[in-house]
Amino acid sequence: MNQEKYNNTGVWKLIRELENKKGITEISINGPREVFIEREGKLIQLAYNLTASDINDFVTDLSEIRQKKYGSEDGPIINGTLYDGSRFNIIKEPFAHGSHAISIRKYLKSIKTFSENPGVFGLYGKWVEFLKACVKARLNIVVSGGTGSGKTTLMNLLLQELPVEDRVVTIEDTLELNFSHKNVVRLESFSAREHELSIRDLVINSLRMRPDRIIIGEVRGGEFFDLLSAMNTGHDGSMSSIHANSAGECLQRMETLLHLAGFEIPTKAIRGQIASGINFIFQIKRDFEGKRVLDEIIEVSSMEGDTILTTNVAKFEDGGLHSTGVTPKIIDELHHKGGLPRDFFS
């Protein structure tokens, strides 16, 4: 998308004015005089007056972008990315009452690597070393968190640590993952008049592309079945995110997503697939000050009867992430493949 094509008035002007303001993670436009930003977890209304024409022009511009991209007419919902990588969502009238509703999730250009952002997600030396070791050891990771908790940001940080020799396939419904890598294929689902490719279609196709790692921006449906199957059949080191407010809720949501695949699979078998496929859940949240933190590191270890066994490896308390004193069962792989000291948890 070439920003220079669009004039510097209306909503475009607002975006430009907010572009270099620190700490803004979201812009919400509910109507001409209802403009809000999210800064450090708090919503603030701006004294900024747009017109109905400004909003209509902006929606027309973004509809044009989508039409040129996919060659199809947009429906009442439009998703995509702006020139700076920020994600937008629009719900048109009359489905949004009174005005088109615009939501823009800002792309945080300042957060690129762990080394350039000490303290990001409340992480410092020791725990950054642990996360890097998980990626290097080719462990399967699920990043879990609620809305606006920073799932995509944490995934981008983890993906920056991928070995240069790996061939990576990323799959998203809207392109948000942004990391530097030599051998990466970025796939995006879409629905058009002539063709439709779902996330699940792309996951299945990715298996024919010789991937070392399959990365799904966020799993929301039956595609989790295919990702988990890949994780259990040689595509170690794959990764995705799930919308969940706790690690326990994340496990429950995984079960639900596997049921959405449409197969009649016994619950015990589903849980067995999860237990054998997933190594760690990284649960993130906002603390009481609105800052994003890595709240828990949960190891998914094995099954006992019909129950998935998990271990809480670390917990965010008193302003930092602390070990619970339990050594993960997968410590040998973290040591031999990831370079983590064997006595890391001692």
Q: Assess whether 174 and 68 both reside in one domain.
A: no
DSSP secondary-structure letter at 122?
Answer: G
Q: Which pLDDT score, from 0 to 100, does residue 87 have?
A: 84
Q: Which pLDDT score, from 0 to 100, does residue 323 have?
A: 95
> Residues 6 or more apart from 257 whose CB is under 8 A from it?
219, 220, 221, 222, 224, 225, 242
Asked whether residue 342 is assigned to any structural domain, the reply reads: no
Q: Assess whether 63 and 184 both reside in one domain.
A: no
Query: Rounded to a whole number, what is the distance in angstroms from the first to the last CA of the chain?
Result: 51
| Whole-angstrom distance, CA of residue 331 vs CA of residue 310 | 15
Asked whether residue 203 is assigned to any structural domain, the reply reads: yes
Q: Assess whether 164 and 42 both reside in one domain.
A: no
Q: How many CB atoms lie within 10 A of CB 238?
A: 25
- Token digits for 292? 């994003």
Q: Which pLDDT score, from 0 to 100, does residue 5 have?
A: 60
Instruction: Give the global pTM.
Output: 0.85
Q: Assess whether 151 and 88 both reside in one domain.
A: no
Tell me the average confidence (pLDDT) per consecutive run of 10 residues in the chain, 346 residues long: 67 88 89 91 89 93 70 70 84 92 82 88 94 97 92 94 95 88 90 72 92 94 91 91 95 91 87 95 90 95 92 93 95 96 91
Longest dimension (CA), the chain: 63
The beta-carbon contacts of 259-267 under 8 Å, at least 24 apart in sequence, are 260/221, 260/222, 260/224, 261/222, 261/224, 261/225, 261/226, 262/222, 263/225, 267/306
Q: Which pLDDT score, from 0 to 100, does residue 19 have?
A: 83
Q: Assess whether 169 and 99 both reside in one domain.
A: no
Q: Which pLDDT score, from 0 to 100, does residue 69 have?
A: 58
- Token digits for 132? 């890097």
With 0-12 / 13-18 / 19 or more C-beta atoms within 10 angstroms meaning exposed / middle / buried, residue 158 is buried
Q: Which domain holds residue 92?
A: 3-105
